[in-house]
Structure 1
Amino acid sequence: MNVKRHPPYRRPMTGWWKRDPFFMRYMLRETTAFAVAAYAIVLCVGVVRLAQGEAAWNGWLQALRSPLSLLLHLVLLIAFVIHAYSWFQIMPKTLPMIKMGGEQVSAGAIQRTGWSAAAIATVLVLALAAWWQS
Structure 2
Amino acid sequence: MSTEDLRYHPRVPVLWWTRKPSYFVFVMRELSSLFIAWLVLYLLLFVRAVGRGDAAYADFLAWATSPWLVVLNAVAFAFLVLHTITWFSLTPQAMVIDLGGRRVPPAVIIGAQYAALAVVSVLVYWLVTR
What's the TM-score bracket when you normalise by the shorter of the two chains?
0.7 to 0.9
Give the unaligned 5+ runs of structure 1.
Answer: 1-5
TM-score, normalised to structure 2's length?
0.82
C-alpha separation in 1, matches of 2:11 and 2:18: 13
Match of 1:128 in 2: 127
Deviations 1:25-65 (A, max 9, x none): 11011111111111111112223333443211221023323
- Structure 1 stretch 118-127 or stretch 14-23: which is displaced more? 14-23
Aligned pair count? 125
Aligned to 2:84: 84
> Structure 2: any 5+ residue segments left out of the alignment?
none
Q: % of aligned pairs identical?
A: 27
In the alignment, structure 1 residue 47 sits paired with structure 2 residue 47? yes
Q: Which amino acid aligns with 1:90?
A: L
Higher RCO (CA-CA < 8 Å; seq separation 6+): 2
TM-score by length of 1: 0.79
Structure with the greater alpha carbon radius of gyration: 1
- Distance in 2 between residues matched to 1:70 and 1:20, nearest whole Å: 31
Is 2:102 the partner of 1:100?
no
Give the CA RMSD over aligned residues: 2.1
